[in-house]
Amino acid sequence: MASLDTFTLLGIYNVKDCGASGRGADDYPAFALANTLANGAGTILVPPGNYRLSTTFSPSSGVTLLICEGVSFTGSSVSPGSGTIIDLSSSGLIVNGAQVAYSGFTAASSISSKRFVDSAGWTAEVDSTTVIGVAPLAISSGSTGTIVGAGIHPVTVDCPLSAGDPVKVGPSGKATKHTTSQTTIQGTITGEASSFTQPASATTLEILQAADVAADRGRGIVIEGSDGSGTAITETISLNATNTTTPVAGSTSFTKVSAVYTANGANLGTQAVTVRASGGGDTVCTLAVSTSELAADIPSGSTEAYCNELTITGPNSDTSFVTIVGVDTSDNTARERVQLNGASPSVVTTTTVFRIVSRICLGEFTNAATGSVKTNAVTDTAAMKCGVVVTGAASRGQDAYILLKPNA
**What are the start-end ranges of the E strands in 263-353?**
273-277, 283-287, 293-294, 296-297, 304-308, 310-314, 321-328, 333-339, 346-349
In this prediction, residue 42 carries a pLDDT of: 84
Tell me: pLDDT of 277 over 60: yes
Mean pLDDT for 242-258 is 98
Q: In this predicted model, which residue has the larger pLDDT, 357 or 79?
A: 357
DSSP state of 173: G
Mean pLDDT of the chain: 84
Tell me: pLDDT of 54 over 90: yes
Contact 29, 53 (CB under 8 A): no
Tell me: pLDDT of 149 over 60: no
344-358, 361-375, 379-393: least confident range: 379-393
Mean pLDDT for 186-192 is 98
74-78, 106-110, 149-153: least confident range: 106-110
The C-alpha atoms of residue 27 and residue 52 are separated, in whole angstroms, by: 6
Phi, psi of 283 (to 5 degrees): -70, 135
In this prediction, residue 406 carries a pLDDT of: 54
Give 11-26 pLDDT, tens digit per residue: 788 999 899 988 878 9
Is the pTM above the cut of 0.85? no
Give 297-329 pLDDT, tens digit per residue: 999 999 999 999 999 999 999 999 999 999 999
